[in-house]
Amino acid sequence: MKGTLRVMTAGLLSVTGLCTALLFACAGGNAVQTFGRQPAAEATKPPEGALSGMVIAIDAGHGGYDGGAVGRVSGVPEKGLNLDVAQKLREILENQGARIVMTRTDDYALCDENPTIRKKLQDMQRRAAIITDGGAQMVLSIHMNEYAGRSQSGPQVFYREGCPAGRLLAGAVQEAMNEQLAPQRERAALGGDYYILTLGVPSVLVECGFLSNAKEEAKLLDEGYRERVAQAVAAGVLAWQALGQEKPEPLPAVDRSGEPHDET
């Protein structure tokens, strides 16, 4: 999730090794790929299922100029892997009756080529607008992790710090991933201050695994494993949904209209 927008950085970096530096920032000298495409808010009529009536936003992290974390062995950026997991997850959840809102459906960033604000901030604001305008009741943001040390591994799910509903969802997704993917290291869901988690609905940021770990990188590059990842995330959503009335209220959205341009 290199470059994923964070509201603040205290604490988690040393624990999780996430989001190393490029907060709100552009990806340095990376070649510009595709800009200015209109974000796609897609919706189809879903079949009946456990998630009928639910609108779920799936956010494939990064895209276009912003590749995100890079596989240490392969050099493959996370953006394409994120999109693949997101699309697989979309199909699974649609088959359970959910209506899905995708923040992106191809390899592009959601910012203009020369925006008046930082590209990453504009990209995130547009993702937020798609999610909000689409009426999403839940956000699932898909990323791949990296860390300076090569030994770190395992899926890691984040929720908005202090949000009981998000924490419950994150716990369900984390548990399902631990059970179904049987990682060498089982992690517990963590609170984190990420922009995408602050839109006022139960939201999780899913780090599917570490591209900085050669063994896990090899798994994540395998399509069959990515299908299992998507299945596990969906299983967590279904487990959360099955909790029914026990679900607490989410926190209200955060007003970011006064976001400083140079926040890092």
Judged by the rule CB under 5 A, the positions of this chain that interact with Zn ion are 1, 4, 61, 68, 143
Q: In whole angstroms, what is the distance from residue 222 CA to residue 177 CA?
A: 16
- Residue 77, φ and ψ in degrees, nearest 5: -75, 155
| Residue 73 host element (H or E) | none
Residue 83 or 232 with smaller CB distance to Zn ion: 83
Contact by Cβ (8 Å): 214, 150: yes
The stretches of the chain forming alpha helices (DSSP H) are 12-16, 78-95, 119-133, 164-181, 214-220, 223-241
The smaller minimum CB distance to Zn ion, of residues 196 and 235, is found at 196
Residue 127 beta carbon to Zn ion: minimum distance, rounded to whole angstroms: 13
Cβ distance to Zn ion smaller for residue 39 or 49: 39
Minimum distance of Zn ion from residue 46's CB (angstroms): 28
Looking at beta carbons only, is 19 or 136 nearer to Zn ion? Answer: 19
Give the CB-nearest residue to Zn ion.
1
Give the span between the Cα atoms of 106 and 87, in whole angstroms. Answer: 10
Helix, coil or strand: residue 151: coil
What minimum distance in Å lies between the beta carbon of 2 and Zn ion?
A: 6
CA torsion sign for 150, 152, 155, 159 is: negative
Whichever of 4 and 212 has its CB closer to Zn ion, that residue is 4
Q: What is the dihedral of CA 92, 97, 99, 103, to 10 degrees?
A: -10
Q: Which residue, 189 or 196, is less far from Zn ion as judged by CB? A: 196
- Least Å distance, CB 104 to Zn ion, is 13
- Give least dist CB 243 to Zn ion, A: 28
| Least gap, CB of 179 to Zn ion (angstroms) | 24
